[in-house]
Amino acid sequence: MKRILFPLLLLILASCAIPIDEPPPPTALPSVTPQLALIPSPTFTAIPTLTMPPVLTQTPIPMQPPDFCADVRGTELIKTFSKAVASKDGALLASLVSPTNGIDVRYYRDGKVINYDVEHAKFVFETTYQADWGLSFGSGEPTIGSFQDVILPTLEQVFTPNSLIVCGQLQTGGATYIPEWPYPEMDYYSVYFPGSDEFSGLDWQTWAMGMEYLDGKPYIAALARYVWEP
């Protein structure tokens, strides 16, 4: 019996042994570590630096209008006008008046405006036409009269060699109002008579003369009077 069992035991043990040439079970770690694929480093191409040309800033040259007050023809025009008034020379006066717009004349600063074109300016020292110059600030009554009766006497008093001529501003004496030039877009001079000692200067008068240029030549376009008002 023992002879039979011993060989049988050997056969059983031999059948349980694992052959050395069989593959490892699925859960076993591989014995060889695979090589990792090397990813080549990216090659960077340098972008050339662009040198921009300098920006040239051109400073515009301002176109300055001619300096009205520096133009001696303005004061020469006033002198010629004074001569026309003193000699009552209508033809000379007409040559100084704007040929396109004529001349606006204001006896009162807030009164009526009467315009004389070149043809009518020739006869202002002669005509007896009764013009309405507006309401008197004293009586409140209309002031009606010819140019030679209403306007000429005050022009003769103001436009003298002793009067003060000021460019671009209203030179006046003491006033109960704010003197304003009624033509903001028009260059002007003011011709100022300071008044007399007899009336403590209250009889001062100013005539403002507006001028415009036509073909580079100055002409008279407006006359406005300022006086003391109660």
The residue ranges of every structural domain in the chain are: 69-227
| CA neighbor of 152 nearest in space, from 74, 86, 228 | 86
Q: What does the pLDDT look like over 51-67, one tens digit per residue?
A: 444 433 333 344 444 58
User: According to DSSP H, which parts of 50-201 are helical?
Assistant: 72-87, 90-96, 118-121, 147-150, 152-158
pLDDT of residue 230: 86
pLDDT of residue 81: 98
Dist CA 121 CA 102 (whole Å): 8
The pair of structure tokens assigned to 174 is 């003491």
Dist CA 13 CA 24 (whole Å): 21
Dist CA 22 CA 24 (whole Å): 7
Q: What does the pLDDT look like over 36-93, one tens digit per residue?
A: 444 455 454 444 444 444 433 333 344 444 589 999 999 999 999 999 999 999 999 9
Q: How many residues does the chain have?
A: 230
pLDDT of residue 38: 47
Dist CA 151 CA 171 (whole Å): 20
pLDDT of residue 139: 86
Residue holding tokens 């240029």? Answer: 213
Low-confidence ranges of the chain (pLDDT < 70): 1-66
User: According to DSSP H, which parts of the chain are helical?
Assistant: 2-16, 72-87, 90-96, 118-121, 147-150, 152-158
pLDDT of residue 196: 92
Dist CA 69 CA 75 (whole Å): 9
Dist CA 121 CA 115 (whole Å): 9
Dist CA 143 CA 132 (whole Å): 6
Dist CA 17 CA 19 (whole Å): 6
Looking at domain 69-227, its CATH class is alpha beta
